[in-house]
Amino acid sequence: MTAKTFDAIIIGAGQAGPPLAGRLTAAGMSVALVERKLVGGTCVNTGCMPTKAMVASAYAAHLARRAADYGVTLSGPVGVDYKAIKARKDKVSNDARGNLESWIAGMDKCTLYRGHARFVAANMVRVGDDVLSAGKIFLNTGGRASVPDLPGVHDIDYLTNSSMMDLDELPRHLVVVGGSYISLEFAQMFRRFGSEVTVIEKSPRLIGREDEDVSDAILSIFQNEDITVHLGADDIRFARQGNDIAVTFSAGKAAAVGSHVLLAVGRTPNTDDLGLDKAGVEVDKRGFIVVDDQLRTSVPGIWAMGDCNGKGAFTHTSYNDYEIVAANLLDNDPRKVSDRIEAYALYIDPPLGRCGMTEAAVRKSGRRALVGQRPMTRVGRAVEKGETQGFMRILVDADSNKILGCSVLGPGGDEAIHCVLDLMYAKAPVSTLARAMHIHPNVSELLPTIAQELKPLA
């Protein structure tokens, strides 16, 4: 068996793979980049880009229906052309993937292999008829939607976040199983497209990792848009009912009958078919590749980046993984995963921006803390835009005056959160934020005001 030899092999062309290939080839290394499906991974093809394009369409429809609230008169009812929405979404995704493919094609000393890579040995993989070897191998294989083994689930035609992107028709009634980030984005957008929507969540509240008042506020937002939400739903079952699908729960006491069912109950790493045992790469009980603080696996010369390592489930954590690996390998810069601050957004409308610790986590830590909070009803920019649902909260360590965390649920929350996140990275005291002059009128201009009004967390 004669192998083609490279300096590095990268398995997966998601958010970490291509930029790492760019850095390695720029450093003079030969790179084999392997992708079994679509260049760009989840973000470009079935995640961030296409879904946020659809969120934008859903927002436009929602705003148009509220035209009268702004003194704008429409000549007729607001209509939604779902095929046009899908075509716009597809163009956004296809353009991004095409640009990425062109960039990779222009990399000197980078060879793109299309196919499924499997380990033959710790320094060798097979892709179709090709065998590749390298002293450095980087895994960026991502994840996929988990399919729960619930009664009747294999008897129905269910959807996942990926197959939702292929729908050519607008569901009459979409039943969403799961009450977390992906499920909530789909639920609201399809309600705004005109579908009847029911959300079924087994936990007692939505997005259980957030503070209870955040969960309550999001539930209220959904109820205001006539989205039916069932919480505490146990014993979930599925059955065909004519052309529809019946979803029962709580021992059959309640049911939702929908035309389509979306399963959004978590993610599974794409690690089960890589032949990791042939390389000796350790995985945990959930299938995530075990890595250290600099993303090295249990086998010298093999690294794991992105969703497959369980260190983050976002595009930005995957890209940051690439930055950490590149910094250590090429820049003599000992960056590590533990340096980063947890930060993410929920892209419903209004969006939630989050960084650092929740209030519940601060309380559990037992430290003395300060808190400042303001509802969007008292934020001028939100009032002017007619978008006053939600609130902002900042948490501060009472002894060091360092910011512990922040939540911004409201217009521009996904952008405004970075005012606080950057200060946390700078390890600046909250007084830096309190003394800052922000631009008026803006949602984020109230963050300094909140920082001036801190009170002990009771």
The residue ranges of every structural domain in the chain are: 4-144+268-339, 153-265, 343-456
The residue among 246, 400, 245, 306 whose CA lies nearest residue 14 is 306
Reported pTM: 0.95
Q: Where are the alpha helices (DSSP H) in 120-211?
A: 181-193
CA separation for the pair 106, 108 (Å, rounded): 6
What is the enclosing helix (H) or strand (E) of 399?
none
HSE-CB for 336 with a 13 A CA cutoff: 8
What is the chain's pLDDT, residue by residue, as a tens digit (458 residues)?
678 999 999 999 999 999 999 999 999 999 999 999 999 999 999 999 999 999 999 999 999 999 999 999 999 999 999 999 999 999 999 999 999 999 999 999 999 999 999 999 999 999 999 999 999 999 999 999 999 999 999 999 999 999 999 999 999 999 999 999 999 999 999 999 999 999 999 999 999 999 999 999 999 999 999 999 999 999 999 999 999 999 999 877 778 999 999 999 999 999 999 999 999 999 999 999 999 999 999 999 999 999 999 998 899 999 999 999 999 999 999 999 999 999 999 999 999 999 999 999 999 999 999 999 999 999 999 999 999 999 999 999 999 999 999 999 999 999 999 999 999 999 999 999 999 999 999 999 999 999 999 999 98
Q: What CATH architecture does domain 153-265 belong to?
A: 3-Layer(bba) Sandwich (3.50)
Beta carbons of 430 and 451 less than 8 angstroms apart: yes
Instruction: Indicate the SS3 state at residue 430.
Output: helix
HSE-CB for 328 with a 13 A CA cutoff: 16
For 4, 174, 353, 379, 380, the CA distances from 446, given in Å and listed in that order, are 59, 38, 15, 7, 9
Q: CATH top-level class for 4-144+268-339?
A: alpha beta
Eight-state DSSP code of residue 36: S
Per CATH, domain 343-456 is 3.40.50.11900? no
Residues 6+ apart with CB under 8 A from 51: 161, 165, 185, 186, 189, 347
Beta carbons of 36 and 11 less than 8 angstroms apart: no
CA separation for the pair 67, 386 (Å, rounded): 11
Catalytic residues: 440
* Fold matches, 153-265 and 343-456: no
CA separation for the pair 89, 49 (Å, rounded): 8
